[in-house]
Amino acid sequence: MPATLIDYLRIALYSALVVIVVALFQTWEREHPVKQVQQSLSSTLSNTVLPTNITANTNIISPSTSSITTIPNKLIHVTTDVFQITIDPKGGNIVGLNLLKYPAMLHSTLPTVLMSNDPAQKYIAQSGLYSQAGPDTTQGEALFTTDQTDYTLADNQTTTEVRLHWRNAFGVTFTKIYTFHRNDYAIDVNYEIDNASSKAWNGSLYLQLLRKNLPSAQHSGMLGLSTFNGAAFSSPDKPFQKLTFAKMDKEPLDENIANGWVAMMQHYFLSAWVPPTDTTARYFTRTSDDGLYSIGMIAPAISVNPGEKITTGAKLYAGPEVVDQLQKVAPTLKLTIDYGWLWMISAALFWLMQKIYNVVGNWGWSIVIVTMLIKLAFYHLSAKSYRSMSALKKLQPKIEALKERLGDDRQQLTQATLELYRKEKVNPMSGCLPVLIQIPVFIALYWVLIESVQLRQSPFILWIHDLSVSDPYYILPVLMGLSMFLQQRLNPPPADPTQAKIMMFMPVVFTVMFAGFPAGLMLYWFVNNTLSFLQQWFIMHRMEKAENNRKAK
């Protein structure tokens, strides 16, 4: 194999990496627009009315926002250590939810808004009991009453309850109970049904997440590298199934599923309804003409006899995609942390980073140490490649001599070059190995950086205040480009002058391409290049020293 063919392969690998970088960069730009709009709860939140006749074939969605009435003075406000929640007494639904431990932007005092009743960005969590005898009927939802409209989880409390009451005309009392726990994003939502009437009450529990399909959720990136924004559900056969908004339009979900859950997903955060274990419910998705999408479930019918009192309910998770929190609610809910098609490598990298972070307390240093461990794991493989490249570099004068002797006879040149490689025991293909090894790790780490909420707004040192966004001064991309350039100087140059110029220009191309990437990824690439350079230099220096000693003897 002539040297020029090796050079073509090397350029092809770098070109493939450029394509991947472009795809990742497009995804990153969509996830981090230059101008971010701050969401805030409206001072007057609207009441949501469910439509009629809840069955498996019913459109369980909110009506047009034009038909919603406003009851600003009756809203219920709940504040815990992690939540700031607004509950509408009409139906007792959550119509506003702020995540207090997650600022909307770096250095912002405003929390991330997960749910809102703002018509332009509507996102609410609904639950209820449908029955001809209420509280949810063909005429709409019941108007619950509470003892107070403001609730706060005190410092000496581990839980706080919000109890909403309603009684029908027959004497059946319904109490909707929200239970909030300290440092927990799972909310217990239960109904106590106390039948003091002379007839049995029959009805069904329904759970639903309803939201707008915002334009940003409709983008899809190259090579399937976009983060997911849409709905999801779980079943015994498929523990994690994603539903795009487009699919919800074309193929509405309507299935009986046991031991499942439904969720609405977005970057870093999600909401999910999780019924009790061993519950078989009718799962559905619905859409409305005014752009509202819902996913939910209808539980089997229940009957409460006269004089009987029962409790039914579910859990609502609304918060960050953190494995420990998700697993407590449902084991398969952790699958919503979607690391893409290299999820096994991503999960392993994050696990290792998390363990190191628990010791060093800084995600930047965790990335540095993980990079060093990766280099250590592949040390012998890389060393073999670098030794081959060093030997190949020393053969360049002999290859040039072959070219001069054989002239334009390409066949003879190829045979002579291969014979030279065999004689010197050099494998020219091994020089491409470091690039091949880095590509999957690079992509996997990219997913870790954009999907792991723990790295969101995490500082490193000095000017790096957020590892999940780009370096504000482009220092790390420049350092990465310089390290790439230095590493290339150790490699044998391509035989063809044009190819040599292309390879020399690669560090500039990558510096420009990487400028908008997250600082954490740039930190990994810079440290990796630096370690590769030092390892290659050490191996080449040792080989040269051994060669000089051999000649001296």
Domains plus CATH for the chain?
Answer: 3-30+347-389+431-552 (no CATH), 38-337 (2.70.98.90)
pTM (predicted TM-score) = 0.77
pLDDT at 34: 39
Mean pLDDT (whole number) for 129-149? 90
* Confidence tier at 517 by pLDDT (50, 70, 90): confident
Q: Which residues, in sequence order, are CB contacts of 162 under 8 Å at separation 6+?
A: 76, 78, 87, 146, 151, 177, 178, 180
Q: Is the pLDDT confidence value at 345 over 60?
A: yes
Mean pLDDT (whole number) for 214-235? 62
Closest CA to 53 of 106, 117, 132, 126: 132
Cβ atoms of 516 and 470 closer than 8 Å: yes
What gap in Å lies between CA 467 and CA 520, rounded to an integer? 5
Structure tokens at 546: 């051994």
Of 536 and 301, which is predicted with more confidence? 301
What gap in Å lies between CA 99 and CA 466, rounded to an integer? 19
Q: Is the dihedral angle over the CA atoms 259, 264, 265, 269 positive or is it negative?
A: negative
Distances (CA, A) of 531 to 136, 378, 524, 542: 65, 12, 11, 16
pLDDT at 297: 96
Q: Is the pLDDT confidence value at 71 over 90?
A: no
pLDDT at 516: 81
Mean pLDDT (whole number) for 247-262? 94
Mean pLDDT (whole number) for 413-424? 74
Whole-angstrom Cα Rg for the chain:
30
- Weakest mean pLDDT among 46-50, 242-246, 426-430: 46-50
Phi, psi angle pair for 461, to nearest 5°: -140, 160
